[in-house]
Amino acid sequence: MANPWRQGDLIAPIDAEALELIDAIDKYTARVVVISHSCDIASGADLEPEVEVIVGAAVSEADAKYRNGHSIRQLNLKRDSSAGIEWSLLRMGDRKLVDKPRLAGFQPWPDGAFSQDQRGVLRRWLAQRYSRSEFPNAFIDWLKASGVGDRFEKLAKKYSDSLIGIYFDLDDDTAYCLSG
């Protein structure tokens, strides 16, 4: 039988409780998302014995301030559930491991899986955690002293629904000419 689990799948709250990932009191608001890479999930338990998840929570749209992966520590994902549109809040610090053989006894929660677009946001958010660049202290100090950092933060909050990223060119503006 093929493994049904993929990165971005939700574990039903009742199953998350049975897997001891959440307490009974949290089963109405908890949202547990599989974050291990799909290839690792498909590998045998002898190679990858555990699956990593994030225990998140359903939040209101007004509280969904971390859309599109702007924060490396928190993320809001949107999905269409049987109750309508729902936002989930995931925090990087709320990761847990579940034994793969135990998880194999359950199926992904069919009540409104995340769309491919939202799964893409999740993948980029997970990847940026480990691939982000560290800026030099002089650049950080300049952002603070000049007020530019505050302006970027205001813009990012204002356009968070459509903004994917802000990129900085730290080059010295030297013009290069290539000839062939």
pLDDT in tens, 103-156: 999 999 998 799 999 999 999 999 987 765 667 777 777 878 888 878 877 877
Query: What does the pLDDT read at residue 124?
Result: 92
- Tell which residue, 79, 101, 100, 99, has the closest CA to residue 88: 79
pLDDT, average across residues 54-83: 92
Say which DSSP state 22 is in. S
Residues with Cβ within 8 Å of residue 76, at least 6 apart in sequence: 59, 64, 65, 66, 67, 87, 88, 89, 90
**CB contact at 8 A, 91 and 44:** no
Beta bridge partners of 178: none
User: Using CA atoms, how far apart are residues 87 and 69, in angstroms rounded to an integer?
Assistant: 14
Query: What does the pLDDT read at residue 109?
Result: 95
The average confidence (pLDDT) of the chain is 87
Whether 180 has a pLDDT exceeding 70, the answer reads: no
